[in-house]
């Protein structure tokens, strides 16, 4: 039976690092957007810089929120941010709480990522390796932006990396602490300045079928950079680093990219990650959001 998830306010799906709306026929949030629209929700995917810091991307998001409000006649929006998109969403909510009804962090590095810490240490500032990595990543981001029709957006891979380290997010959190837990691994305030805060995320699981998935293998390889969240991460973000507001669950059997997609072929995810978005839309609906 089709779930009714007609929320009071439009939903904006906010992409993270190297994200985009559409390239050709491929849409990053295709399954999520289609499922939410089928359930009755108004859904938009704002375009942000594929690589930049949280505040630059957050400011871009604020501009697009205003466009959605003007175009729909709505008074507020629900933000669902994947990965770094959660930080841009938090920034927008902190600066314009009258325009944001809720922020939902999906696999968001709300306390930074140990993977980013390892990459930052490997790239010594001012050395050739950093310049090469910066150029390659930034040119790739420009290429993605060109393909997705957003070539005018600024890109900075090093700014993005610095913004995702535990130190970088720590500085961000001092300015925008809304919804953060007061103790490590706890829950944060569910409502701050009229904005409702939610989060969910996953952790890597060991099983034979998953080991045949190249994305799972990539996440498994990257998980070796985690120390504090060893064995409790999705390959990119630690379990407890993802906590924000009302923590729905932070140990779904999903890697970092699983929370964006419905896998095809031999590997079936349970729960279906797309169902998590429609379930959440009904949660927002029940809260009058």
Of 82, 126, 72, 73, the closest CA to residue 103 belongs to 82
Return the H-helix or E-strand segment holding 126: none
- In Å, how far from its chain's centre is CA 247? 15
DSSP string, 145-176: HHHTT-TTS---HHHHHHHHSHHHHHHHHHH-
CA pair distance 56, 63, nearest whole angstrom: 11
Alpha helices in 45-127 (DSSP H): 54-72, 85-95, 114-122
Rounded Cα gap, residues 90 and 58, in angstroms: 8
Torsion sign, CA atoms 117, 121, 123, 126:
positive
Phi-psi region of 288 (alpha: psi -120 to 50; beta: other; left: phi over 0): left
What amino acid positions are annotated as catalytic residues? 83, 234, 256
Task: Output the six-digit token pair for 111.
Answer: 């306390």
Whether the bond between 67 and the residue before it is cis, its omega within 30 degrees of 0, is: no
CA distance 242 to 86: 9
């Amino acid at each position: 039976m089709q779930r009714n998830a007609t929320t009071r306010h439009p939903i904006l799906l906010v992409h993270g690092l190297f994200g985009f709306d559409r390239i050709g026929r491929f849409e990053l949030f295709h399954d999520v957007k289609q499922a939410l629209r089928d359930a009755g929700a108004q859904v938009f995917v704002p375009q942000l810089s594929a690589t930049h810091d949280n505040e630059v991307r957050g400011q871009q998001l604020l501009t697009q929120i205003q466009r959605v409000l003007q175009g729909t006649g709505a008074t507020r929006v629900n933000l669902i941010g994947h990965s770094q998109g959660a930080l841009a969403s938090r920034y927008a909510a902190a600066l314009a709480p009258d325009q944001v009804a809720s922020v939902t962090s999906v696999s968001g590095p709300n306390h930074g990522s140990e993977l980013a810490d390892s990459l930052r240490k490997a790239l010594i500032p001012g050395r050739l390796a950093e310049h090469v990595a910066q150029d390659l990543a930034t040119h790739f981001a420009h290429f993605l932006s060109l393909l997705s029709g957003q070539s005018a957006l600024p890109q900075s891979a090093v700014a993005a990396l610095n913004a995702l380290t535990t130190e970088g997010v720590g500085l961000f959190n001092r300015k925008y602490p809304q919804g953060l837990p007061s103790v490590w691994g706890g829950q944060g305030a569910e409502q701050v300045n009229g904005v409702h805060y939610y989060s969910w995320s996953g952790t890597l699981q060991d099983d034979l079928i998953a080991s045949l998935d190249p994305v799972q293998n990539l996440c498994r390889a990257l998980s070796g950079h985690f120390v504090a969240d060893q064995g409790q991460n999705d390959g990119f973000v630690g379990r407890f680093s993802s906590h924000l507001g009302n923590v729905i669950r932070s140990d779904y059997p999903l890697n970092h990219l699983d929370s964006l997609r419905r896998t095809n072929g031999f590997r079936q995810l349970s729960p279906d990650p797309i169902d998590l978005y429609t379930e959440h839309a009904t949660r927002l609906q029940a809260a009058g959001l």
